[in-house]
Structures are given as structure tokens and as C-alpha cells.
Amino acid sequence: MLFPKICACCSCQLADEESTLCEFCKYDRFELTDSCISGTTEEILPEHIEFRMSLWQFDKGGYLQDLMHRLKYEHLYGLGVDFGFELGKVLRRKAGQNGWLFCYQPLLVPVPLHRKKERQRGYNQAFAICEGVSGVTGWAILSERKLYRKRNTRTQTGLAFEERRKNISGVFEIIGVDFLPYEMPIIIDDVYTTGATVMELAQTLRESGAERIGIATLAEA
């Protein structure tokens, strides 16, 4: 017996061509961020960060928060890939607007989970998002075997920026990667909060020769 497919967000019945979200939830339910609409953020970024963007504004207590939570803990690989498609479309447009595809070869870098956490959850949601982005853009994904978390850090939730920075300092290790000057790693994650995690990862990538780094997330708090 076949069960009808339902939207992971609003539970309405999906059309044949829809996979995890209905058209309304995908395109109209969530608020796009300024960085997605205009392509820039107000914040001052470190010099080595080429750009930072998020697709949607995080809605505390809302549908998007619930979906992000389930993406992390319910092994919704297909949802991660679908979200990645949407992020990939915006990134591709952005790359064309800013002209950096003429200068750089993007390489997608999913924020790694600690092995233990990845085993518990069954997958890394950032990797699923990368698969979607790659499916749209054709950009390669950095091998998961080359980048990992050395420590299983306690949750960043509830910590102020400075505490988060200390909690995450020195946590990433990259092996056997030397970025060439024209390669631009783009860090991919689900939610951007204070940026402590992605900035720490950017620092690790710099130590392997990356000169310009991009940051793209599904949502920002």
C-alpha cells in the first residue's frame, strides 16, 4: 500500500513532482533575509571572508525552527538536499552577480560533526545541504574524510559569543588539503547564530592556504 507523500512542514498532501515540501512552504512560508535579497549583509566581515549569506530569517518558535530541529535529529536527508537546492540556486545567482566565478573555483565545505554525534544522529545535515547545493551548481564537496572535529564540544546554545569562541577554539582539523589560490571554500551549515563555529572553521581553512572564503547557511538567527 502506498501512503500519500506529505509536506514535512505543513503536512498537506504533496503533488507528484514535490518531494519533501509543498510549493507554498518552499517559496512563501519563510522570510528571506536581506543578504539573500540584496546579496549583502550590514555586518563587517573579516577580510578573508568573501561573503556571508543566509536564505531565511530564523523564526524563533515557528515552522522553520521546527524544521531545522527535525533536520538535525530526525535524519531527514531528502529535506536537507531539497533545502540545499534552494540555497544552491541563490548561491549560483550570487556568484554570477558578483562575478567571482571568473576568479574562483568554489568548493563546498560542510561543517563537520564529531564522529560520535554523527553516529548518534545517523548523518550530518550540513553534508545533505551540500549535496543539494552541488546538485544545482555542480560545485564539488570537500571529502568528509579530510576535515573533522577533534573534540565533541558541548552545545553552543545559551553561550555568549566569547564563550562560544572559547568552546570551539582549535576544534577542527584538516588533513592533506592545500588550497590553491583560485579555490574558494564555501562553508555550508544549517543555522548561523553568532558565527563562532563558521569563523573558527574559516580560520582552519586559512591555515591550509584558503585566501578567500564564503559562508552560506539556510537560516540565520
- Applying CB under 5 A, the residues found at the interface with Zn ion are 7, 9-10, 22, 25
Please name which of 174, 165, 152 lies closest in space to residue 195, comparing C-alpha atoms: 165
CB of 10 to Zn ion, least distance (A): 3
CB of 113 to Zn ion, least distance (A): 28
Integer CA distances (angstroms), 197 to 118, 134, 165, 168, in order: 17, 22, 7, 6
Considering the complex, state which of residue 27 and residue 182 has its C-beta at the smaller distance from Zn ion.
Answer: 27
Considering the complex, state which of residue 24 and residue 161 has its C-beta at the smaller distance from Zn ion.
Answer: 24
Considering the complex, state which of residue 20 and residue 217 has its C-beta at the smaller distance from Zn ion.
Answer: 20
CB of 133 to Zn ion, least distance (A): 22
Q: Which residues contact 170 (CB under 8 A, 6 or more apart)?
A: 150
Q: Whose grid coordinates read 540565520? A: 220
CB of 17 to Zn ion, least distance (A): 14
Integer CA distances (angstroms), 89 to 86, 114, 164, 194, in order: 5, 29, 31, 25
Name the DSSP class of 6. B
Considering the complex, state which of residue 23 and residue 162 has its C-beta at the smaller distance from Zn ion.
Answer: 23
